[in-house]
Amino acid sequence: MRKKGIKLLLAGILAMLGSFSYAQTKIYTWQDFVDEVADDEYAEQQGWTEHMEELAQLAAHPLDINTATREQLGMIPFLSEEQIEDIHTYIFLHRGMRTISELMAIESIDYRTRRYLSLFLYADQSVFARRDTLTLKKLLKHARHEVSTRMDIPLYYRDGYSFSPQSGGYEGNPLYNRLRYRMNARNRIDLGLSAEKDQGEPFRGNSGWDSYGAYLMVRDMGKLRAAIVGDYKLGFGEGLVVNNGGFATGKSSLMNQPSQGIRAKRGMDEYNYLRGAAATLRFGHTELTTWVSYRQLDATLNSNGTAKTIQTSGLHRTQTELARKHNLSAIVAGGNLTWKRKGFYAGGSGYYQHFNRSLEPGTAVYRRIYPKGSNFGVVGAHYGYKHQWFSLAGETAYSTEKGGWATMERASWKVNTHYTLSGSYRFYSYNYYSFHASALSENSEVQNESGATLRLDATPVGNLTVTAYADFFYNPWPRYSLDHSSSGQEGSIRVEYTLKRNNKLLVRYQLKRKERYNQMELHNRLRLQYTRQLGTSWQLQSIASLHAMDQSGTGFAIAQRARFQKQPVQVSTQLAYFHTPDYDTRIFQYEPLLTDMFYYPSLYGHGIRFVAAGRYSVWKQRLLIEVLYGMLRYFDRSTQSSGMQQIRSPWKNDISVQLRLRI
């Protein structure tokens, strides 16, 4: 009893000190998080935008750490299973957390992770009040409701609106609209509805918005850990069989592992998800997940009625794009069985997929390894061991269509509290293919690649963080633009130094060698970023970026960002000047945006880009009003884009308005 009392006293002291400390420093924001994790490595990676949009949704709807399940904490991609276990152990021993600052008492969670978690978690102190037995009526009575809508208004005209639909022009108007509703009852019941119309898509009287989504999810109902009906995503093992539910671990990523288990689809992605039902049951140390899905997909057809290419854009603006809509359907059924005990885990995943049309991708050399036929199966086994100081993990998978194999093995060793070494090896046969896979790779598919990655995470001193990695990859089958096998290398070092008063200096350098169009390209990227905090309301950030190539030359961009935050107002602005020789030397630059929105545009050519985002909350922060203005001006051209997307002006201006009501 005495030891327990001492622990409670220490927890209380940490909570008070943490609260005082947090009050003296700036509030960590979504923009701060993206500045730290966004990387050129991910800017062009398939699914990156959708993953970040879903993470933005989580930041807008943080979880109560006292009631969050292991599966819900697993939605936070930089949180390891060891850290999740430590959080639950702490909450069990101390009967909850009074503030998030108590995370300082958990040894496995360092300062950087605590800073990230402050964005996605909060502590509801009502956990210390007398707990009544939860009933459905009580859950629904205390449920939180949210309705939001966003409208994008372009102040320019594209050529697609000048032509009739019969001539290839756009069927709809240039407005974008999104509508969402969400209900959450103490993280036990989650309901979501969404509708979206992209720019140029028609808003029809009968069908309304172009795409719709819905889900109903329940958690922790006895042996039923989670169940969902509607739109959802999944992730198991290292993502070789199924991982459309979260991030794939990257070379420079701060994310620890692919997301595990069932997740509701909260983003507006129109391709990478499942639609149907899924459930997870727990029996002791074993969990069984089963799922079934039926989706209608967009596809380009061959003259014989077979499907040549599955379309992933979700755009239906012209008669050609509308002709591709929903002319391919897919049925998927699968399951996963996972056993966990004392740091060890092992399991297996598999699914069967059937298309109503046969896939015939064509005879081009790079397309010959694409999946062919209408019936596909994938099975895999994942395994690993996690300890406080080291971890081992891996997965091996087999696809039936061409008999291909894939394997991913990784290991991590925490030398001490300051240094962590990690490495991974991957082999993805060109005969292997899974429609729902996502894992560490140089290319977008888990196919036709082998490679090895070494990485160092170091904190030599408290205010200095260093991340470095080296990656070596090989593609045995010719990729697009090549007629032979190819290889490449990539290395990067990222240094962040925190000065006094929360001012930070970040330096990142990346070198990549990769073959394209039968010649080796050498990319050098450098980024310098200085963040200065002025009191508790103002933040200034200066950014300089450089991208050099032997064939094209050197491009650069400089940007100045300013943010003012004082309830109930927040204003962010950014002005960027860029000058690059061509598209190949483009520079990616994250911008201030609206809540639940993620955009990582590329700047190329010669011009300036200005963005201003304003936020105003009223009615005890229940009503949020946001406005975004963006301006782009080119100095080296009189038109922008091409074809139906062409703008006959060097100027491009946009306005976005978003309203969010919470009850």
DSSP string, 31-93: HHHHHHH--HHHHTSTTHHHHHHHHHHHHHSPEETTT--HHHHTTSTT--HHHHHHHHHHHHH
For the chain, give the mean pLDDT: 87
- Per mean pLDDT, which range of 8-12, 203-207, 575-579, 581-585 is the poorest? 8-12
Say what percent of the chain tops pLDDT 70.
89
333: pLDDT strictly greater than 80: yes
Q: Tokens in use for 391?
A: 């971890």
The whole-number average pLDDT for the span 505-514 is 94
| pLDDT recorded at residue 246 | 57
| pLDDT recorded at residue 23 | 36
| pLDDT recorded at residue 18 | 42
Give one DSSP letter per residue of 117-161, joined into a string. HHHHEE--GGGGSPPPPP-HHHHHHT-EEEEEEEEEEESS-BGGG
Is the bond leading into 165 cis (omega within 30 degrees of zero)? no
| pLDDT recorded at residue 4 | 45
15: pLDDT strictly greater than 80: no
244: pLDDT strictly greater than 70: yes
Give the Å distances, CA to CA, from 88 to 95, 103, 220: 10, 11, 15
| pLDDT recorded at residue 38 | 65
Is the overall model pTM greater than 0.85, yes or no? yes
Comparing 485 with 29, which gets the higher pLDDT?
485
- Per mean pLDDT, which range of 74-78, 146-150, 320-324, 646-650 is the poorest? 74-78
Question: For the chain, what are the domain ranges?
Answer: 1-134
- Per mean pLDDT, which range of 158-162, 166-170, 205-209, 478-482 is the poorest? 205-209
The whole-number average pLDDT for the span 185-208 is 87
Show Cβ contacts of residue 185 under 8 Å, excluding neighbours closer than 6 positions: 139, 140, 142, 143, 144
The whole-number average pLDDT for the span 606-614 is 97
The whole-number average pLDDT for the span 178-205 is 90
CB 114 within 8 A of CB 104: yes
pLDDT band at 368 (very low <50, low <70, confident <90, very high): very high
29: pLDDT strictly greater than 80: no
Show Cβ contacts of residue 263 under 8 Å, excluding neighbours closer than 6 positions: 54, 75, 232, 233, 234, 235, 245, 246
CB 632 within 8 A of CB 652: yes
Say what percent of the chain tops pLDDT 90.
60
| pLDDT recorded at residue 198 | 95
| pLDDT recorded at residue 528 | 95
Q: Which tens digits make up the pLDDT trace of 383-437? A: 999 887 888 999 999 999 889 999 999 998 989 888 999 999 999 999 999 999 9
Instruction: Measure the CA–CA gap between 485 and 475, rounded to whole angstroms.
Output: 6
Q: Which tens digits make up the pLDDT trace of 35-59? A: 666 665 555 555 566 677 777 778 8
Show Cβ contacts of residue 290 under 8 Å, excluding neighbours closer than 6 positions: 278, 279, 334, 335
- Strands (DSSP E) contained in 170-285 are 176-185, 189-197, 211-221, 224-235, 261-264, 274-283
The whole-number average pLDDT for the span 585-598 is 85
Q: List alpha helices for 387-439, DSSP H.
A: none
pLDDT band at 258 (very low <50, low <70, confident <90, very high): low
147: pLDDT strictly greater than 90: yes
Nearest to 639 by CA among 629, 624, 627, 651: 651
Tell me the three state secondary structure of residue 412: strand
pLDDT band at 10 (very low <50, low <70, confident <90, very high): very low
Show Cβ contacts of residue 227 under 8 Å, excluding neighbours closer than 6 positions: 217, 218, 221, 262, 277, 278, 279, 280
143: pLDDT strictly greater than 50: yes
Instruction: Measure the CA–CA gap between 533 and 166, rounded to whole angstroms.
Output: 55
The whole-number average pLDDT for the span 276-298 is 96
Comparing 154 with 113, which gets the higher pLDDT?
154
578: pLDDT strictly greater than 50: yes
Give, as one character, the DSSP assignment of residue 249.
P
pLDDT band at 205 (very low <50, low <70, confident <90, very high): low
- Per mean pLDDT, which range of 80-89, 246-255, 461-470 is the poorest? 246-255
311: pLDDT strictly greater than 70: yes
Quick one: which H or E segment has residue 544? strand 538-549
| pLDDT recorded at residue 19 | 40
The whole-number average pLDDT for the span 458-465 is 89
